[in-house]
Structure 1
Amino acid sequence: LTPEKPSYIYPSVKIFSKKDRDLNEKPQWLLDQIDVINATLAQFGIEGEVSGSTKGPTVTRYEIQLEPGVNVKRILNIQDNLMMNLSSKSLRIEAPIPGKPYVGLEVPNVKPEIVAFGNVVDTKEFMEDYDHPLKIALGVDIDGENIYVDIQSMPHGLIAGATNSGKSVCVNTVLVSLLLKNSPEDLKLILIDPKMVELTPYNNLPHLITPVITDAKMAAAALGWATTEMDKRYQMFANSRARDIRSFNDNVKRGLVDEEKMPYIVIVIDELADLMMVAAHDVEDAIQRITQKARAAGIHLLVATQRPTTDVVKGTIKSNIPARIAFKVASFVDSTTILDGAGAESLLGKGDMLLKRSDRTHRLQGAYIPDDEIYQVTDFIRNQYEPQYIFEHDALKQQAKMREAVSDDLFNDVAYFVVQTGNASINSIQKEFEIGFNRAQKLVEMLEQYDIVSPSQGTKAREVLVNVHELEDILNHI
């Protein structure tokens, strides 16, 4: 008999520190700013006045009521004057505020406040919502409402922002939110972290399918595994009359299908640009397939990148990732690439973000979670269960090697030709073997993989690294 596994204990919400905030407070600087806005409107002859204000954690929204017949666009024309008179670093105008008869001015607070992760997660709305296991806590909006997003309805997300804008903290809040509500049987994670330091706290968790991946080639292989897993799941759904992962798990629960419960899989990539530089083609194909059809199979993808330009996030991928989270970016162009509109360039940084769902863009302050609290959660889980990897990195390496195995019958001849002549130029291979440039280039790359020739050195010719005897050894081992 196998010993019963001890039942899984979820980490407690009491781990997280909290901060009290007074939502209705009207400090003196806020009243002064109202006077300045009213005075500026009067200077430009715009009939209207501030009718109310809402103080958020880092930004205050002033609601301006215009007299009948005043064009809303006139406020946009005096944006720079308002900014100068308020002497503020940035100013965002919502003209009008969706769902209200006012124009909104969003001005940074004189004294910003931190939103603690504990305040956002320690609510019934989050902890007792058992129907949405993949609900994540993001932060607080200007009205003081906690903002949650369900990954299942989002299917896939794109997080973008310059360095030091709060992007990695956001990835951490997403992961910790998932760990608070899901046992290793319900949720599996693939974490890809080319920066090597961001996702280390999550190493050796029982939720991981494979250890945290830091190598780009392995990342491509892991994404390949995810697409195979997706096809396998759809095959199982077809055989058991299920449409998606929910109905399949219901059938398992009711005993209609003799299978294990199927866990959700969330894949988090912390810096996509880095992967794209090394293994663009494989990564792109896998991401495109996952974003197109993995939702019903319970596989979700969260991609974080510093600048989602078209060479990093291709249009085909972007059109399949509807949910976007934008932190502060450097320019208007960057903002348009993430949100398809302006706004992210005038954010304040440090967790100030725009969340774009299908309907409209919400501005919120991301929750902050300190490193020691992340470690408390992950240590608590690690102490209960050993890691249960489905595959190790070595297995992935083997797969990647197998895939890159010699797929060209000219390989041996070309290898001998290169070693004997001591010349690895693509041009000479083309002439000697009468083949096209692309095929010759591929052959030279294969020679480089097997350390027969050196990596490319710009305009200099590649060096041949082996003699004929060593080459024979290499070819015998392939």
Structure 2
Amino acid sequence: MPKELAYKVEGVREAVSPFTLGIICGKDRNGQYNAFDLLKQPHILIAGETGSGKSTQLRSILTTLILTKKPSELKLYLGDCKKSEFHIFRKVEHVQCVLSSAKDIGKMLRGIKKELDERSDLTEIFEVGHVDDLPAEHRRPYLVVCIDEFVMLRKNEEIMDILTELVAIGRTLGVFAILSMQRPNAKVLDTTIRANLTVSMGFKLRDVIESRIVNTPGAEAIETSGRFIMNSDKLYELQAPYLTIKKAKELLNPFVIAKGPVKEVTPSTPTSGSLTEKDVFNDVVD
């Protein structure tokens, strides 16, 4: 298994092509790409120390989704609690918002909660088991909520309650979560959330306890950046594609559109050119 695996668009596209919402994982010891369909294995947990490759994996997954789905088919809602990872996606057409404060992420998730309720009502009205089975005029795009370092939101009970509901019922409603953290915490990853995160990717973790929390045994012994243990239908050891920020920007450039003011932080006293709380909320729920 190589110590570094360059992200190559052709190979990645081919790997995810059989799937509706293809998630690229990496290559195994036989040099074969591993990928899966988020519709069939919803919700992902990614954990790993600084420098382990966790952030690059997030970049690869999101970039691949953007390259393979139309903006009318997929909408991304990004929470960047560290204010360092998702800036390159801010002007991409698929991306509805890039938020960093707990206050703004809470507003975003309330909008997602409203969408979950509406989709649930539609499936009941039309007596179908999945939003994909709704009549064409009522179809809705897939939504992916990706929050980096979501452990920083653990003190906000409303946010954690909505995330718990999302991972519990989101699959049939076409709404999915990708959550990441550096230091896995058993109190944050309680039984309900952990049981519904069907895929875990454990990059280098500090100790056996953290590996056990993420459910990726052996992740504490990893020594190579970009190497991780994945637990889905079984355990895999994989090398993640290495996608640089520069390369990601080049790939994303065709999808960049002119947007309004930077949707990141909502100041308590709006200034010229800044979004108000109302603007952020409207951006989310429109």
Q: Does the 8 A contact of 1:120 with 1:146 survive in 2? A: no
Could you tell me which residue of structure 2 aligns to residue 7 of structure 1? none
Question: Which of the numbers 131, 142, 150 marks the counterpart of 1:264?
Answer: 142
- CA-CA distance at 1:122 after TM superposition: 4.8
Question: Which of the numbers 193, 198, 203 marks the counterpart of 2:85?
Answer: 198
Could you tell me which residue of structure 1 aligns to residue 197 of structure 2? 321
Could you tell me which residue of structure 2 aligns to residue 335 of structure 1? 211
- CA-CA distance at 1:337 after TM superposition: 0.9
Question: Which of the numbers 61, 64, 70 marks the counterpart of 1:183?
Answer: 70
Question: Which of the numbers 239, 257, 261 marks the counterpart of 1:365?
Answer: 239
Q: Letter of the 1:240 partner, please give it.
A: F
- CA-CA distance at 1:194 after TM superposition: 1.0
- CA-CA distance at 1:172 after TM superposition: 0.4
Question: Which of the numbers 300, 304, 310 marks the counterpart of 2:176?
Answer: 300
Question: Which of the numbers 75, 84, 108 marks the counterpart of 1:222?
Answer: 108
Secondary structure of the 1:162 match is: coil
Offset from partner CA, 1:291-333 (integer Å, 9 cap, x none): 1111111000000011221122222211121210000011111
Q: Residues 282 and 241 from structure 1, CA distance in 2 versus in 1: closer, same or farther, beyond 3 angstroms?
A: same
Question: Which of the numbers 121, 143, 162 marks the counterpart of 2:11?
Answer: 121
Could you tell me which residue of structure 1 aligns to residue 267 of structure 2? none
Bigger radius of gyration? 1
Q: Does the 8 A contact of 2:15 with 2:35 survive in 1? A: no
How far apart are the structure 2 equivalents of 1:321 and 1:232?
23
Could you tell me which residue of structure 1 aligns to residue 222 of structure 2? 347
Offset from partner CA, 1:95-128 (integer Å, 9 cap, x none): xxxxxxxxxxxxxxxxx3x21110673554434x
Q: Does the 8 A contact of 2:153 with 2:160 survive in 1? A: no
Q: Letter of the 2:83 partner, please give it.
A: M
Q: Does the 8 A contact of 1:335 with 1:343 survive in 2? A: yes
Map of 1:75-474 to 2, 5 A cutoff? Answer: 112=3, 114-118=4-8, 121-122=11-12, 124-127=14-17, 129=18, 132-209=19-96, 211-248=97-134, 251-252=135-136, 258-259=137-138, 261-277=139-155, 279=156, 281-339=157-215, 342-358=217-233, 360-382=234-256, 385-387=257-259, 394-395=277-278
Q: Does the 8 A contact of 2:151 with 2:185 survive in 1? A: no
Map of 1:19-98 to 2, 5 A cutoff? Answer: 56-57=1-2
Secondary structure of the 2:118 match is: helix
- CA-CA distance at 1:240 after TM superposition: 2.7
- CA-CA distance at 1:243 after TM superposition: 2.0
- CA-CA distance at 1:203 after TM superposition: 0.5
Unaligned regions of 5+ residues in structure 2, if any?
Answer: 264-274
Identity, % of aligned positions: 24
Secondary structure of the 2:98 match is: coil
- CA-CA distance at 1:205 after TM superposition: 1.7
Offset from partner CA, 1:242-267 (integer Å, 9 cap, x none): 3212212xx31xxxxx44x4100000
Please, what TM-score do these two structures have when normalized by structure 1?
0.53
Q: Does the 8 A contact of 1:207 with 1:387 survive in 2? A: no
Q: Letter of the 1:319 partner, please give it.
A: A
How far apart are the structure 2 equivalents of 1:267 and 1:214?
13
Higher relative contact order (CA 8 A, sep 6+): 2
Unaligned regions of 5+ residues in structure 1, if any?
Answer: 1-55, 58-111, 253-257, 400-478
Q: Letter of the 1:356 partner, please give it.
A: N
How far apart are the structure 2 equivalents of 1:388 and 1:239?
36
How far apart are the structure 1 equivalents of 2:35 and 2:210?
25
Q: Residues 183 and 388 from structure 1, CA distance in 2 versus in 1: closer, same or farther, beyond 3 angstroms?
A: farther
Q: Does the 8 A contact of 1:166 with 1:349 survive in 2? A: no
How far apart are the structure 2 equivalents of 1:377 and 1:232?
34
Instruction: Give the aligned length.
Output: 270
How far apart are the structure 2 equivalents of 1:159 and 1:241?
35
What RMSD, in angstroms, separates the aligned Cα atoms of the two structures? 2.2
How far apart are the structure 2 equivalents of 1:141 and 1:346?
17
Q: Letter of the 2:16 partner, please give it.
A: F
- CA-CA distance at 1:189 after TM superposition: 0.5
How far apart are the structure 2 equivalents of 1:119 and 1:398?
35
Secondary structure of the 1:309 match is: coil
